Structure 1
Amino acid sequence: MSTQEPATPPDMIAAPGSALTLRLEIPTMKSLFIEMRFQETVLSSGTAFLVANDQSSHCALITNRHNVTGRHQETGVCLSKNGAIPDNVLIYFHKEPLHLGEWQCIRLPLFKDDGQPWWIEHPRLGALADLVALNLKWGSDVHKLPYYLKSNLDRVDMAIRPAEPISVIGFPFGLSSTGRFPIWATGFMAQELGIVTPDNPTFLIDCRTRQGQSGSPVIAYRVNGFTKFENDRVSTSIAAGSAAWEFLGIYSGRVNPDSDLGRVWHVSAVEEVFAAAEVAMPKKTD
């Protein structure tokens, strides 16, 4: 898949300092602001993030399917008021070197020359799953900060129960905290994760989320310690002053406009889509 660097948007200003001087949490750096566009017209905004198995593996972009199709996931109704469907997406990556606090704006086409989509859908559930992956050819000008699926950097085997806090880290109404850094919306687990199944790999959260947060990573974030599963038992890990988080999945929207209940596609579904993206990625030849 090719990428193109567009002209710098006028509101894409550098953050006033580096990630270190601003004391940003690592998950803050992982959520990416995206704009869905038809040619040069912005239709909507949302959130995306990168995933990889580990620090040496392939890396892909993950977002909601309805973001790239421009259609309601269940009804198929066009989401844009002017009836347009996106044909490209603008992604705001962190620019190298990271300490400058700047963004690299990349335009990614959504369709091939033959009209087929570039995105990769869930290998079993297909269009029924509201998440997709996009493969990119990475250059040295982009700093990649993925969620790692196969390491304890983002998955510490944290025990998550109903009514415990979770955070949706994205861009409600296209808003940012500063620059293109996301906003943390925090709510609660609304069910047990143990009842998630392969045929329905979703769970519910109770969180005041809004449009623009579609595609956001959902994590459980704890400071000073957390409970974890160990040898089929729950134990407590205490580390004063340190933070830990568990990557839980991708937020895809509220169950209806009158409710704060939101649907999250479980990390297991993200793993399956990422595996399909790895297979679809052209292999390097000697």
Structure 2
Amino acid sequence: MLNPAHSVVHLTMRFDKTELAVGSGVLYLKDNKTYVVTAWHNISGRHTETLDLLNKNCSIPNNIIVSMDVEIKQGDFVGSTRISITVPLVDNNKTTYFIHPQGYPKVDVVAIPIDLNNVYTMEGKLMSGENINLPIQLKSKQPHGLELNIIHIQDCEFKDYDIGDYSKSLYVSDDIFVIGYPKGITDYTGQPIWKRATIATSPQLGWEQQEQFLVDCASKEGMSGAPAIYYSRDGKINTGNVYYKGSKPITILHGIYVGRLGSTSELEAQIGKVWKRKIIDEIIDNKILDFLSEELILSNSCIKQTINEEWPKENEGYANELLNDKTSYRYYFLNLIMSKINGRANKEKVLELILEYAETLKNGIKQ
């Protein structure tokens, strides 16, 4: 059974050749196709809730360097090596990655298709310092019988369907691991860092009515997009109904870690968010491409039109009720509008436009 760290990838987000940020991801297999799964904010360069640009120079990633382990086979020899390929995030004026259909609240996970038959570029340097670009095909037989194979998380996972759906057997106080690259830390081997995490909220109940749960984990920036896994080196697993002890290590992917809540101060509680594994499959099944960055944010006129269309015109006193900050009307209507526009605007900005519209109606000014 392969070590799950072999399926973890180091990501360098870039604008052309300029490095913007680093992150983590995992190689995922579905319907015989390969994907890099990571956090949406890594790839979009935007804050998940405010949609503000994360880079201080307002740069947006248009390609990523994916550093991954590949399995090498030659005759009876089986080993692995580390390679880095350049993957475009925009091609033919379209994004190249899939997002979840739910835009509000934003699902902070994406799946980037990787075509194993495609020829990618490996960037490197000679000892002289000269930059070189080398072509590589990720699944191919090279000269002298050398064979390259991608290592997906599924290649590392435990598979015994006789004991039921163990993927749902995760409870508060259980320990899992988040495997990634905090602060981009690694060595010449490219190996990721294992960070222990304790389940802090019920995965069965979800968090904020979403398919996510919280973990207590001392993580750092760079871990966003990392896989959250159950791992037992001794081959033990308890599904709630059945206790299983195998002869090999057990790995189970439970979701994607997308970062800490609230402040990033070292003095704050180390509480992070994990989107459940089922979200990955929903993203891949729907195959919805993200908006280009310049097309994502809706104009004020579009938002105002939605407000006008959704306003309960049969309720003449609705404007007064909404302007009263002691009632819940404004927040109900705000969430309605955010859902209608699928989260394509800053929530605070939308609230301003709603209150402006209500004030206009209250003062009797015709729209």
TM-score between both structures, scaled by the size of structure 1? 0.78
Q: Highest CA radius of gyration, 1 or 2?
A: 2
Cα gap change, 1:126 to 1:100, in 2 (>3 Å):
farther
CA distance, structure 2, for counterparts of residue 154 and residue 265 of structure 1: 24
Per-residue CA deviations over 1:29-60 (Å, capped at 9, x if unaligned) read 0100010001111111101112123xx72221
Corresponding residue of 2:242: 235
Deviation at 1:84, TM superposition (A): 1.1
Deviation at 1:96, TM superposition (A): 5.0
What is the Cα-based RMSD across aligned positions, in Å? 2.7
Q: Is the 8 A contact 1:147 1:154 kept in 2?
A: no
2:7 corresponds to which of 7, 22, 30: 30
Letter in 2 for 1:202: Q
Deviation at 1:176, TM superposition (A): 1.6
For the pair 1:81 / 2:70, whether they are aligned, the reply is no
Cα gap change, 1:29 to 1:268, in 2 (>3 Å):
same
Deviation at 1:148, TM superposition (A): 3.0
Q: Is the 8 A contact 2:71 2:150 kept in 1?
A: no
Structure 1: gaps (5+ residues): 1-23, 281-286
CA distance, structure 2, for counterparts of residue 195 and residue 216 of structure 1: 22
Corresponding residue of 2:173: 163
Range that drifts further, 137-146 or 40-49: 137-146
Q: Is the 8 A contact 1:154 1:245 kept in 2?
A: no
> Match of 1:97, SS?
strand
Equivalenced residues, count = 247
CA distance, structure 1, for counterparts of residue 181 and residue 92 of structure 2: 31
State the identity %: 25
The 5 A counterparts of 1:1-286 are 26-53=3-30, 57-97=32-72, 99=78, 101-114=80-93, 116-125=94-103, 128-138=106-116, 139=137, 140=139, 143-148=149-154, 152-153=158-159, 157=166, 159-176=169-186, 178-196=188-206, 200-224=210-234, 225-229=236-240, 234-239=241-246, 242-256=248-262, 257=264, 258-277=268-287
CA distance, structure 2, for counterparts of residue 184 and residue 220 of structure 1: 12
Cα gap change, 1:211 to 1:75, in 2 (>3 Å):
same
Cα gap change, 1:243 to 1:95, in 2 (>3 Å):
closer
Deviation at 1:198, TM superposition (A): 11
Deviation at 1:100, TM superposition (A): 5.3
Deviation at 1:78, TM superposition (A): 1.7
CA distance, structure 1, for counterparts of residue 193 and residue 2 of structure 2: 12
Structure with more of its chain in helix, by fraction: 2
Per-residue CA deviations over 1:223-251 (Å, capped at 9, x if unaligned) read 3312014xxxx221123x53212210000
List 4+ stretches of structure 1 deviating above 6 A: none
